[in-house]
């Protein structure tokens, strides 16, 4: 496990300068940070003449198809590569089926901002204070003296917009905003990024979000809110998992709620999203159930069993004290 300030940037930049063939990958169920930082890094390394493949187990979520180069994300590719890079992964298993390809690379680099994570790879550039991996990639570009194209800037901005909930989370620092200002000057279009990520929901998604919120349960004197997005609802509303991403933030928006839990039912288990504010640490809560994440945003999986759900809700109540 690693914890602390930023480390590994110099070694990473030095290695990337010399790299010729690069595999970039990221975590399963990719979010905007995973996709945006992968594609941003791809554009930057290609501008330096390197051969780059981007491979992700689950491809790109349809919400991120607007990002320049999204079509380049494959689910399989042929090496060899001298360098493999995993972005936004707190452990090597997060890359899913790409693990074997990643491990086939001569040098493996991890670029990540999770506060607590499992070490892996030969080089690690870690910065738990970065709001998004995109912020770290912007720094790499700077250090590589790479010209950031408008396409690369758009991808990096999307990464940061996603992981900051559109600049709402306490992870946003002056450095985050400076990086974003530079990206916008470079040609990134903040309005189109925000439109694409937050303002293109389909009607079923909005209706299902309403149903999940209608079913909201409040416990611990209104400090804990939780709800379930059931398989039945996904069927009824014709929606997919990522359509209800924002429900957990709506739960947390209730005045007085300090921990919000969204359980998404899958064919085999529950995919659990945990969010918090103030002093409630949901990263450690997630770790109790085999998951992980950030202090205020984390996740885990749970068996599809009411007892397991009760156990999680009770554990969350204990976090509140
Ligand atoms: Mn991230």
The CATH number assigned to the domain holding 316 equals 3.10.310.30
Region 260-280 average pLDDT: 97
Q: Is residue 3 part of a domain?
A: no
**In this structure, what are the phi and psi dihedrals at residue 283, rounded to the nearest 5 degrees?**
-65, -45
Residue 2 scores a pLDDT above 50: no
Based on the domain organization, do 161 and 33 belong to the same domain?
Answer: yes
Kindly give the distance from the C-alpha atom of residue 236 to the centroid of ligand 1, in angstroms, as a whole number: 31
Which residue among 143, 166, 198 closes a domain?
198
Based on the domain organization, do 72 and 133 belong to the same domain?
Answer: yes
Kindly give the distance from the C-alpha atom of residue 221 to the centroid of ligand 1, in angstroms, as a whole number: 32
Q: Which helix (H) or strand (E) holds 229?
A: strand 224-229
Based on the domain organization, do 61 and 151 belong to the same domain?
Answer: yes
Based on the domain organization, do 170 and 234 belong to the same domain?
Answer: no
Structural domain that includes position 87: 9-198
Which residue among 153, 183, 198 closes a domain?
198
User: What pLDDT digit, counting tens, does each position of 192-216 carry?
Assistant: 999 999 999 999 999 999 999 999 9
Q: Is residue 78 part of a domain?
A: yes
Kindly give the distance from the C-alpha atom of residue 186 to the centroid of ligand 1, in angstroms, as a whole number: 22
Q: Is residue 151 part of a domain?
A: yes
Kindly give the distance from the C-alpha atom of residue 294 to the centroid of ligand 1, in angstroms, as a whole number: 9
Kindly give the distance from the C-alpha atom of residue 289 to the centroid of ligand 1, in angstroms, as a whole number: 20
Based on the domain organization, do 168 and 215 belong to the same domain?
Answer: no
Distance CA 57, CA 74 (A): 8
Kindly give the distance from the C-alpha atom of residue 185 to the centroid of ligand 1, in angstroms, as a whole number: 23
User: What pLDDT digit, counting tens, does each position of 14-27 carry?
Assistant: 999 999 999 999 99
By the 8 A CB rule, do 276 and 260 touch? yes
The total of other beta-carbon atoms located within 10 Å of residue 50's CB is 18
Kindly give the distance from the C-alpha atom of residue 127 to the centroid of ligand 1, in angstroms, as a whole number: 11
Q: What is the pLDDT of residue 211?
A: 98
Kindly give the distance from the C-alpha atom of residue 293 to the centroid of ligand 1, in angstroms, as a whole number: 9
Based on the domain organization, do 150 and 228 belong to the same domain?
Answer: no
Kindly give the distance from the C-alpha atom of residue 30 to the centroid of ligand 1, in angstroms, as a whole number: 10
Q: Is residue 107 part of a domain?
A: yes
Kindly give the distance from the C-alpha atom of residue 225 to the centroid of ligand 1, in angstroms, as a whole number: 24
Kindly give the distance from the C-alpha atom of residue 88 to the centroid of ligand 1, in angstroms, as a whole number: 5
Distance CA 240, CA 235 (A): 9
The percent of residues above 70 in pLDDT, for the chain, comes to: 99
- Residue 216 CA: distances (Å) to CA of 174, 248, 262, 319: 35, 10, 9, 20
The total of other beta-carbon atoms located within 10 Å of residue 110's CB is 27
Q: Running DSSP on this structure, what letter comes out for residue 246?
A: T
What would the DSSP string read from start to end of 68-131? TTGGGEES------SEEEEES-SSGGGGGGGHHHHHTSSEEEEEE--SSB---SSEEEE-TT-S
Kindly give the distance from the C-alpha atom of residue 306 to the centroid of ligand 1, in angstroms, as a whole number: 30
Q: Which residues contact 127 (CB under 8 A, 6 or more apart)?
A: 5, 6, 7, 9, 113, 135, 136
Kindly give the distance from the C-alpha atom of residue 153 to the centroid of ligand 1, in angstroms, as a whole number: 17
User: What pLDDT digit, counting tens, does each position of 171-188 carry?
Assistant: 999 999 999 999 999 999
Helices and strands in the chain: count of H runs, count of E runs: 12, 12
Residue 80 scores a pLDDT above 50: yes
Kindly give the distance from the C-alpha atom of residue 116 to the centroid of ligand 1, in angstroms, as a whole number: 13
Domain count, the chain: 2
Residue 4 scores a pLDDT above 70: no
Q: What is the pLDDT of residue 1?
A: 44
User: What pLDDT digit, counting tens, does each position of 99-129 carry?
Assistant: 999 999 999 999 999 988 899 999 999 999 9
Q: What is the pLDDT of residue 44?
A: 98
């Amino acid at each position: 496990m690693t914890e602390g300030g930023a480390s590994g940037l110099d070694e990473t930049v030095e290695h990337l300068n010399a790299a010729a063939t690069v595999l970039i990958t990221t975590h399963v169920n990719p979010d905007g940070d995973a996709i945006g930082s992968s594609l941003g890094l791809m554009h930057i390394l290609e501008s330096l003449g390197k051969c780059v493949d981007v491979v992700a187990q689950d491809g790109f979520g349809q919400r991120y198809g607007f990002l320049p180069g999204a079509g380049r994300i494959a689910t399989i590719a042929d090496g060899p590569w001298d360098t493999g890079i995993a972005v936004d992964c707190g452990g090597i298993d997060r890359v899913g089926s790409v693990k074997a390809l990643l491990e086939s690379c001569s040098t493996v680099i991890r670029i990540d901002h999770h506060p607590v994570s499992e070490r892996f790879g030969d080089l690690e550039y870690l910065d738990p204070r970065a709001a998004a991996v995109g912020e770290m990639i912007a720094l790499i570009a700077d250090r590589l003296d790479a010209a950031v194209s408008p396409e690369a800037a758009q991808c990096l901005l999307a990464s940061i917009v996603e992981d900051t909930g559109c600049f709402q989370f306490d992870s946003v620092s002056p450095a985050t905003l400076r990086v974003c200002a530079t990206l916008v000057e470079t040609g990134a279009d903040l309005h189109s990024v925000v439109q694409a990520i937050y303002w293109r929901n389909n009607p079923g998604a909005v209706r299902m979000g309403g149903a999940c919120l209608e079913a909201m349960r409040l416990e611990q004197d209104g400090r804990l809110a939780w709800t379930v997005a059931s398989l039945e609802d996904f069927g009824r509303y014709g929606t997919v998992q990522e359509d209800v991403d924002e429900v957990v933030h709506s739960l947390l928006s209730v005045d007085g709620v300090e921990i919000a839990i969204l359980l998404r039912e899958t064919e085999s288990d529950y995919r659990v999203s945990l969010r918090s504010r103030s002093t409630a640490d949901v990263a450690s809560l997630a770790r109790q159930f085999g998951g992980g994440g950030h202090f205020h945003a984390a996740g885990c999986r749970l068996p599809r069993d009411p007892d397991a759900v009760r156990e999680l809700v009770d554990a969350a109540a204990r976090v509140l004290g």
